[in-house]
Amino acid sequence: MLDAVSRHVAILGAGPAGASLAAHLLKANAPESGAKNAPDAPAIRVTLFDGGERPPLVVGESLVPAVIPFLKRLGIEEEVASYSLYKPGALFRFSEDEVRAFRFDDVPGATTSYAYNVPRDRLDASIRDAALRAGAHFVPHHARVERDEGGRIRLAERSLDDAGLSEQPDFIVDASGRRRLVARLLDLPTTSGDRRDTALHAHLEGVGLITPNDIHTDRLEHGWSWRIPLPGRVSVGLVMDSAVLREFGATAEEQYDAYLRHDPLLSDWGVTAKRITPVLRYTNYQLRTNRGVGPNWALLGDAFGFIDPVFSSGLLIALDGALELSRAIREDSPEALARFEQRNLLQLENWQRVVSYFYDGRLFTLFKVGDDVSRTWYGKLLNGHFRRHMPRVVTGEATTHRYSMGLVDFMVKYGLKEEDPRIRAVR
């Protein structure tokens, strides 16, 4: 539990997870915030460490609708909208003849009917600025942590000096992303997914789009790709087995450029598109830590777990976790921290299943069957119910809802009729 007199939280990393946690904690200090604090809880101080070293491109440029309420809560949606592209839906292409489009405003019961495609450097800066406006003490250095007694951790003396601190913080949150400082320090157990893919990611000009503002997901001859429209450019990612990529060159640039020219489904634009950034290589997908809290620490965002880029779930899990962890820290009890941990594990586990249904072809085979059945008399009776629950799992609004996830799990197991899901599986 946090110290009853001096409540000081150190956050390791000022990306979206760490910065939004800082903003929530500090905004809740205000009496008008309505935060449910422990009786007579003193204000919380926040020290936010960040070394400022970020790659020029970051995965997660296309938001799901469930992210929008978090932007509103942080007070930055209007700012984000000013430099982003409005995103009304998503498009999935499995072949030249099969294209499936989703309009977010067609989903019954949806809380949010839109999202944004965002330049991630600007989005991350907006969230960080919200934390600084709220009063976070920003330290422009990476934090170093050490083991302490009883499963606790502490800041290294050098990090205390960098922050101008004379005492250890009461609570430390690891939001360091895939550096995973605390998980590595304590050798926490992890669970890996079934995929060992590599993603190559760059920005291009001259990329063809079927609909101008939608994210495009294409099933390729090998793996899959994303096309995310951004102001003045399109983000394009290739996700496939590393061994396949090595057949197309020795460097990330050679592999990326050669595969764009190679794949038949990209032939309408891949040959003529112009790459305007370096190619970034990302690996280590589908890794989650099985434990997220300890006596004086918690994991948050990618430091807790990262599933896969296919549905842009990482930013949603980070922002949702930040809000839940802020509530747990202010409530100041082991039970509250346990609730945060269980919710975050549920998010990671459920998204892992949804992603697996995409890769093995069952998810979109189910949607195809749903279209066919909706033309029957009994399908017309049930169509509204399925459309209320199943698409909202993919948009992030119902991924933690037991019934909605249970319905998806049941239907991908028993509802595919005679359709072969391998037709839509990622190869």
Q: Looking at the structure, do residues 47 and 147 belong to the same domain, yes or no?
A: yes
- Condensed to tens digits (0 to 9), the pLDDT of residues 354-413 reads 999 999 999 999 988 887 877 787 667 777 778 888 889 999 999 999 999 999 999 999
Taking the CB of residue 379, how many other CB atoms lie within 10 A of it? 15
Residue 176 lies in a domain: yes
Mark whether 267 and 207 lie in a shared domain: yes
The pLDDT score that the predictor gives to residue 372 is: 81
In 213-317 the beta strands, taken as DSSP E runs, fall at 215-219, 224-230, 233-241, 274-275, 280-282, 287-289, 297-299, 305-306
Question: Does residue 67 fall inside a structural domain?
Answer: no
- Domain end (from 284, 312, 329): 284
Domain boundary among 233, 267, 284: 284
Q: Are 58 and 183 spatial neighbours (Cβ–Cβ below 8 Å)? A: no
Answer whether residue 325 is part of any domain: yes
Around Cβ 424, how many Cβ atoms within 10 Å?
24
Residue 400 lies in a domain: yes
Instruction: For residues 266 and 331, state if they share a domain.
Output: no
Residues 201 and 266 in one domain: yes
Residue 63 lies in a domain: no
User: What CATH number should be reported for the domain holding residue 130?
Assistant: 3.50.50.60
Tokens of 393: 């799992």
148 and 262 co-located in one domain: no
Contact yes or no for 46/133 (Cβ under 8 A): no
Q: Are 215 and 87 in contact (CB under 8 A)?
A: yes
Please give the pLDDT value at position 4: 44
Does residue 201 sit in the same domain as residue 274? yes
Same domain, yes or no, for 175 and 225? no
As given in the structure block, the two tokens for residue 231 are 């102001």
| Residue 47 shares a structural domain with residue 148 | yes
Note whether residue 64 is domain-resident: no
Task: Give yes or no: residues 176 and 207 share one domain.
Answer: no
- pLDDT at position 32 is 54
> Given this model, what pLDDT does residue 369 score?
87
Residues 145 and 11 grouped into a single domain: yes
The ranges of the chain with pLDDT < 50 are 1, 3-5, 38
Cα–Cα dist 190/207, whole Å: 38
- What are 135-194's pLDDT values in tens digits? 999 999 999 999 999 999 999 999 999 999 999 999 999 999 989 999 999 999 999 888
Q: Given this model, what pLDDT does residue 3 score?
A: 47
Which pLDDT belongs to residue 54? 83
The pLDDT value given to residue 201? 96
Q: Please tell me whether residues 142 and 226 are part of one structural domain.
A: no
| Per-position b or e across 9-34, b if 16+ CB within 10 A of its CB | bbbbbbbbbbbbbbbbbbbbbeeeee
State how many domains the chain has. 3
Single out the residue in 227, 257, 284 at which a domain terminates: 284
Residue at 72 is within a domain: no
> Which residue range(s) make up the domain with 20?
7-55+120-191+286-352
216 plus 179 within the same structural domain: no
Q: With respect to residue 129, please indicate whether it lies within any of the assigned structural domains.
A: yes
pTM: 0.93
CATH number for 236 = 3.30.9.100
